[in-house]
Structure 1
Amino acid sequence: MGITQVQRLSAGALKPLAALVDDLGLAAHFQGDAMLNGIDPVIRSPHRLGEASGTAQLLIGIAGAAVWHARTGKKTDIAIDIIDALHYLHPTHFVQQQGQPILVDAEHVEVNDIFLCRDNRHVMLEAGPPYMKLLKGYLNFFDCGNSKKSFAREVAKWDSEKLETAMATAGLPACRAFSREEWLAHPQGAALGQVPVIEIEKIADGKPVPFQTPALSPLQGVRVLDFTHVLAGPRSTRTLAEYGADVLHISSPAYPDTFAQHIGVDVGKRCAYLDLRNADDLVTMKRLAARADVFTNTYRPGVNARFGLLPAQLAAASERGIVCMTANAYGHSGPWAERPGFDQNGQVASGFAWKEGEPHKPRFSPVFYLGDLMTGYFAAAGMMAALLRRSTEGGSYHVTLSLTRSAMWVQELGFLETTRQASLPERDSYPARMTSIDSVYGKVSFLAPPLTFSNLALPNASRLSPYGADVPEWPA
């Protein structure tokens, strides 16, 4: 276990990070060095989980440092410890309210599992934390009780591909467990294999929008309209808030996320309600979007098409050019582009879970999460890179990502020999550095920031508003 080994970007030791920096066009703007203190394995897994998360965090830091350099001329070095990086692969597990753990707890929902089908293949079902609409959908589909035994019995009556197709028709998340090789040969896997893990497309021309100076933080003055739910999207915008952006989260009073999700990902934001089925609320939403610098979305395409909030429409109505971010389960082209899915569906479809469980039943990441957090971090870095492009080139940009593509990227880092990992923990049992804020919910604690900077102090993004507590307006 090489926890103490230092890997430096300047020494060529962080090649996956260097490739992402080049892909996002950040190399010319980042003047410092980046360091990962440690090397995998640090947890029992065939995947490089610490390095994967550390790379994503360092990429965020590099993007923020590049913007900081553009605004102030100052350069900074960045470092992260591999254990802090591992913790940040599942930060929701560390959230506490008044000293009590507040867990999303999706791993303990009865239907959220990998079940064996009649043809001896496995299928992954998931209803989220749970979301009652999805849970009722599964119960009605199978006409069974809400227990793991009942779901296993009913799934065993189906052949895997037929069940997967029937679930898709019913609008329920489900996917077969593929090996990596099978997934890359699948039409959806092949489509994802052709796109980068973070894709940035210029979708409209416009005049450059230089960052305001002077600045106290990289994203000071940047307005982010957060139309996301679950974990990946809200995590990405929490990150932007941590770098100084003014983030306004919009949700419907009829469809809020759970309390555990909320306090885990909405720190640093203002939170307002808008019911887009109401004509006046939709007008307000579009007015906010026209004045926003960033619009983030993780709802399915039909929602945004219904309300006129597709990236091309937002770009056409924008006052200065806008960065739109869209993240989904399986990618933005191919036969599965509109299928619903969660983090663990991406693990199972991509071959990640197959490798984790080899040679037995597929299984999830040893910290349960993977795609949600990796995608959220990649999205934050991609949005900052697009804002940097807007500052010099002008125009509007669309940043696209998917949970499954993020899982594929982790596999692209290469695999570790698990037979030599007997001394490593099966779960993340390392001590964590924590921080706390005082909020309307009392004392809320969560992981301390994972990155250290030599010449940049991030603002204290400590606001935590209940859903609907703020007005849907930009501050003067």
Structure 2
Amino acid sequence: MPHPAADRLPPLWQDLAPLLPADTEPAPWSGPRWWWAGVLDVEGLALGSLQALATALAAGTGAAGRGRDIALTSRGAAVSFASYTHLRVDGQAVGGFAPLSGFRRTIDGWVRLHANYPHHERALLKGLGVASPDDVDTALLRLSAPEVEERVTAHGGVAARVRTPKEWAESPAGRALQNEPWIRVDTEPGPAPKRAVGAALRGGSGGVLDGLRVLDLTRVIAGPSGSRILGALGADVLRIDPPATPELVEQHIDTGFSKRSAVADFADPAAYRRFRELFEAADVVLLGYRGGSLARFGLEPEALRADFPGLGVVSFDAWGDAGPWAGRRGFDSIVQAASGIASLYGGWDGDLWRPGALPVQALDYATGLGVAAAAAALMGARNRGISGAAHLSLARTALELMRLPAPPPGTERSELDPEVRTSPSAYGELTFVPPPLHVDGRQHDYSRPPQRYGSSGLVWE
């Protein structure tokens, strides 16, 4: 039975229209429309971004003949947006934010800090002029929130002042996003593919993205969660990290299913040469580093499209690629604070008002699904002679969420119990949730557990 009009999903998939056949219809979904029951329609963002991926996959398969049945459920969306929470390693839950990460008071308001990575913790302490984490709160109470934001950022750390939505919308960084789509797509006539892309994109019966080769140059959650589902769908995903700043082990485990992990120092000429050779046979590259940080290696989207015609390039960042914050570091929690979401979710704790947070890191996971959807749409379009690139940002995803109509009054919170899997791995016995899609009427699964971090060579399978 179709959902009533009030329960329909935000049509996020329509941003991909330049890459999809004209007769594309959104992928079907089932289950409740609301379950987190918060101030914002986080459910709509989760379901809409997942539907964008499912729609791109189904449209790509149908364009070549027999289409694949790609569908989604509310439970799949809900648990996938909390996959880190559901992950267990040998029966133990994984850790959360580091002690210095979180909301802190200043002399005039609140800031949100991010210090999960050791180099960001060092930058935070340096920016505040303290030697020990024990001195952070005292230092913050001597500074204004804008001062903290600027000092920490200037030293390479990550901090954001808690703003209201109005303050963010009126700021130069916020104004730069107002006319951007959620997924910005750039297209041009492209060369014929060097080879067929994916069994399903050819109308075959194998894995949905069998044969697709994806270079994953992303970090933390958004990009790696997007490439995780591409790997689950059959793509050969090779994630490459720098040796100087390794990924956190538990985040690698959560997002490392159905892909391989390599470490390479691009400043080493031999390693860089092997890395560049990968592009000759790659179909898609995912770029998730802050704006401008990869330019010295020739890895900006424009340079890659010029060097490798027909390559699908999907890039994303924290704050968008225009405006004064284009090159600034950022994470889901930091964007929530700066954009006004933390203010909307705030509340009173006795006589003290405190900012709050979304029930899940929805900006990360929705952006990651947008990245995966853009990659799938680019490959379907390439088989029709269209080449292109796509760009997203966490801040633009935040704006999309805040623009959605609020959930109906009286909506109550409910729990959608996860369907879990177990598997042995290099890190121990893992308990985890499967990918959030149904393919040809069956719950999809990961093809393999996470491999040991950095264990792969710079080669395609």
Per the normalisation by structure 2, the TM-score is 0.90
CA gap of 1:241–1:12, structure 2 versus 1, over 3 A, is: farther
Residue in structure 2 matched with residue 447 of structure 1 by the alignment: 433
Distance in 2 (alpha carbons) for counterparts of 1:76 and 1:131? 41
Distance in 2 (alpha carbons) for counterparts of 1:52 and 1:176? 24
Structure 2 residue identity aligned to 1:208: A
Residue in structure 2 matched with residue 362 of structure 1 by the alignment: 355
Distance in 2 (alpha carbons) for counterparts of 1:18 and 1:327? 17
* CA RMSD of superposed structures (Å): 2.6
Residue in structure 2 matched with residue 101 of structure 1 by the alignment: 93
Structure 2 residue identity aligned to 1:164: E
Aligned residues between the structures: 451
CA gap of 1:77–1:228, structure 2 versus 1, over 3 A, is: closer
Q: Secondary structure at the match of 2:424?
A: strand
Residue in structure 2 matched with residue 431 of structure 1 by the alignment: 417
Deviation larger for 22-31 or 69-78: 22-31
Q: Secondary structure at the match of 2:322?
A: coil
Distance in 2 (alpha carbons) for counterparts of 1:67 and 1:12? 29
C-alpha deviation, 1:176, in angstroms = 1.6
Deviation larger for 262-271 or 298-307: 298-307
* Aligned pair partner of 2:14 in 7, 20, 25: 20
Residue 391 of structure 2 corresponds to residue 400 of structure 1: yes
* Aligned pair partner of 1:348 in 337, 359, 371: 337
* Aligned pair partner of 1:413 in 379, 400, 404: 404
Residue in structure 2 matched with residue 152 of structure 1 by the alignment: 137
CA gap of 1:438–1:471, structure 2 versus 1, over 3 A, is: same
Residue in structure 1 matched with residue 276 of structure 2 by the alignment: 286
Residue 84 of structure 2 corresponds to residue 92 of structure 1: yes
C-alpha deviation, 1:458, in angstroms = 5.0
Q: Secondary structure at the match of 1:287?
A: helix
CA offset digits 1:332-357 (Å, max 9, x no partner): 10000111111111111111111111
Contact 1:244 1:458 in 2 (8 A): no
Structure 2 residue identity aligned to 1:20: Q
C-alpha deviation, 1:238, in angstroms = 0.7
Contact 1:64 1:243 in 2 (8 A): no
Can you give the 5+ residue segments of structure 2 that lack an aligned partner in the other structure? none
CA offset digits 1:164-196 (Å, max 9, x no partner): 222222222122212112211111111111101
CA offset digits 1:304-348 (Å, max 9, x no partner): 112111122222222x51111222111110000111111111111
CA gap of 1:178–1:460, structure 2 versus 1, over 3 A, is: closer
Structure 1 residue identity aligned to 2:386: G
CA offset digits 1:7-53 (Å, max 9, x no partner): 37xx785251266366464463645751241122x224211222321
> Superposition pairs for residues 62-141 of structure 1, below 5 Å?
62-76=55-69, 78-81=71-74, 83-103=75-95, 105-106=96-97, 109-118=98-107, 120-127=108-115, 130-141=116-127
CA gap of 1:316–1:290, structure 2 versus 1, over 3 A, is: farther
Residue in structure 1 matched with residue 374 of structure 2 by the alignment: 382
Contact 1:24 1:382 in 2 (8 A): no
CA offset digits 1:403-457 (Å, max 9, x no partner): 1111111111122477x46x636xxx65311112332233222112333244577
> Superposition pairs for residues 13-412 of structure 1, below 5 Å?
13-17=7-11, 20=14, 23=17, 25-26=19-20, 28=22, 30=24, 33-40=27-34, 42-76=35-69, 78-81=71-74, 83-103=75-95, 105-106=96-97, 109-118=98-107, 120-127=108-115, 130-144=116-130, 146-147=132-133, 150-202=135-187, 205-209=189-193, 211=197, 213=202, 214-318=204-308, 320-358=309-347, 360-367=353-360, 369-395=361-387, 397-412=388-403
CA gap of 1:278–1:336, structure 2 versus 1, over 3 A, is: same
Structure 1 residue identity aligned to 2:434: A
CA gap of 1:225–1:140, structure 2 versus 1, over 3 A, is: same
Per the normalisation by structure 1, the TM-score is 0.87
Contact 2:176 2:323 in 1 (8 A): yes
Structure 2 residue identity aligned to 1:206: G
C-alpha deviation, 1:63, in angstroms = 1.4
What fraction of aligned residue pairs are identical, expressed as a percent? Answer: 26
CA gap of 1:266–1:229, structure 2 versus 1, over 3 A, is: same
Distance in 2 (alpha carbons) for counterparts of 1:271 and 1:22? 29
Can you give the 5+ residue segments of structure 1 that lack an aligned partner in the other structure? none
Distance in 2 (alpha carbons) for counterparts of 1:75 and 1:231? 28
Q: Secondary structure at the match of 2:272?
A: helix
Residue 3 of structure 2 corresponds to residue 7 of structure 1: yes
Structure 2 residue identity aligned to 1:181: K
CA gap of 1:393–1:471, structure 2 versus 1, over 3 A, is: same
Distance in 1 (alpha carbons) for counterparts of 2:26 and 2:178? 31
Q: Secondary structure at the match of 2:50?
A: helix
Contact 1:220 1:244 in 2 (8 A): yes
Structure 1 residue identity aligned to 2:246: P
CA gap of 1:441–1:24, structure 2 versus 1, over 3 A, is: farther
Distance in 2 (alpha carbons) for counterparts of 1:18 and 1:155? 40
Contact 1:436 1:443 in 2 (8 A): yes
